[in-house]
Amino acid sequence: MTDGVRRRVCDGAVVEPTVLVDGQVAAVWKLRRDGDRAVVEVEPLGRLAGPEREAVAAEGLRLLRFAATDAADHDVRVG
């Protein structure tokens, strides 16, 4: 992990949830609620190629199905 990425994802002992692409930290994510909808917002730390973006979005949807089973709708937003 580069120093710039480390500064972005680490604040003392707190580490933001991260997305790995090929073993490298490529993005951070947050789970948000919007009424009956659960949303994973992914913020890339650099460029994500088309296939990488698609894979990250698919994984975000799997995460929501696990972590937000009570939500009526799931959405993934890759910034």
pLDDT tens for each residue of 1-55: 889 999 999 999 999 999 999 999 999 999 999 899 999 999 999 999 999 999 9
pLDDT value of position 55? 95
Domain count for the chain, please give it. 1
Q: Provide the whole-model pTM.
A: 0.88
Tokens of 65: 């199905």
Q: 27 lies in which domain range? A: 3-78
Quick one: DSSP state of residue 42? E
How far apart are alpha carbons 27 and 20 in whole angstroms? 7
pLDDT value of position 34? 87
| Residue 70 pLDDT > 90 | yes
pLDDT value of position 19? 95
pLDDT value of position 1? 84
